Amino acid sequence: MANRLVVEALGTFWLVFAGCGSALLSAGIPQLGIGIVGIALAFGVAVVTSVYAFGHISGCHINPAVTIGLLLSKRFPAHEVPGYIAAQVIGGILGAGVLYLIASGKAGFVPGGFASNGYGDHSPGGYSMLAGFCMETVFAFFFLLIILGSTDSRAPQGFAPLAIGLAVALINWAGIPVTNLSLNPARSTATAVFADGWALQQLWLFWVAPILGGAVAGVVYPFIAGSPPSPAKR
């Protein structure tokens, strides 16, 4: 169990450090020009590499919403859920902490939103709380369906990390303008800790909505897939 928790922390560290790092360190430099497309791909590649590296050890959930979805789909034991979520949050905060250390090495650095997720005045596109809640919930629902389907023992083997990573990139392309896109309570918590106070005040949405979407998918997938699926190697 200990090695799986360490791997969950490492995977979430990598997601926050690489994904949010692309937003904080690269996106703001005009000559690099990565923009939303580059940030979305960074998050997608971070997930692909993590799942290939760690999926055979811990399943590489690196997201409390994924852990809850797998629990409700009967793919993950309830007694391991608290440990996994704690490891994910700790790993994410450590990743954001190292990123903060690096970012603050630039003269004139101000943390501001620190790539945090937000709605209303803190939405990149000025979207409302309701719009943000719908976006996070619906995308989390489909994201979990993709995870559950691509890791089903009846699905083509060996391609799940690619499907999951591409889903992350696609979701970010649509979701960044609305909430800076989370889908992941651990990722949202990690950056909110180092951002301005509003990020912690709005953090509740980025726990409730992704977990709600993931939970619904965890209940729905076994019904649409037929017989209870068996976990497959990723």
pLDDT for res 234: 45
Backbone φ/ψ region at 181: left (φ over 0), alpha (ψ -120 to 50), beta: left
pLDDT for res 226: 77
pLDDT for res 161: 93
pLDDT for res 57: 95
**Amino acid in position 133:** F
Q: Which residues, other chains included, contact 119 with Cβ-Cβ below 8 Å and sequence gap of 6+?
A: 127, 128, 129, 131, 132, 133, 178, 179, 202, 205
User: What CA–CA distance (Å, rounded) separates 201 from 224?
Assistant: 37
User: Is the per-residue pLDDT at 7 higher than 50?
Assistant: yes
pLDDT for res 9: 97
The answer to which of 49-53, 113-117, 174-178, 223-227 has the lowest mean pLDDT is 223-227
User: What CA–CA distance (Å, rounded) separates 181 from 175?
Assistant: 5
Q: Mean pLDDT across the stretch 200-211?
A: 98
* pLDDT bracket for residue 77 (50, 70, 90): very high
Task: Quick: pLDDT tens for 22-33.
Answer: 988 876 665 556
Q: Which residue has the tokens 């809640």?
A: 133
Please check whether the domain covering 2-225 is classified as CATH 1.20.1080.10: yes
pTM: 0.91
